[in-house]
């Protein structure tokens, strides 16, 4: 998967959105109606939410609660 791509995966669990990510994409503050679970496959990302600043690299798992305001930007 090229850098900057986010691949949304179907989840067998209702109310859960699964994401496979390769950093390189920036996104503004937003929310989701469902739980989000993401795996960083390549690159690195920094995001800000109610939990504070989070940095994630390859192999990291990122979670987002419904209604949690968050953003993201590539690192490096």
What does the alpha-carbon distance between residue 4 and residue 71 come to, in Å, rounded to a whole number? 14
Q: Which residue has the higher pLDDT, 17 or 45?
A: 45
pTM: 0.71
What does the alpha-carbon distance between residue 2 and residue 28 come to, in Å, rounded to a whole number? 21
DSSP 25: -
Taking only the tens place, the pLDDT of each residue in 3-34 is 445 555 566 677 776 676 666 778 899 998 98
Q: Where are the alpha helices (DSSP H) in the chain?
A: none
pLDDT at 28: 93
Q: Which residue has the higher pLDDT, 10 or 45?
A: 45
């Amino acid at each position: 998967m090229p850098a900057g791509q986010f691949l949304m995966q179907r989840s067998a669990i209702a109310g859960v959105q699964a994401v496979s990510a390769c950093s390189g994409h920036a996104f503004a503050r937003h929310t989701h109606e469902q739980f989000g679970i993401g795996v960083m496959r390549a690159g690195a990302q920094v995001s800000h939410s109610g939990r504070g600043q989070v940095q994630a690299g390859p192999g990291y798992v990122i979670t987002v609660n419904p209604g949690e305001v968050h953003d993201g930007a590539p690192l490096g």
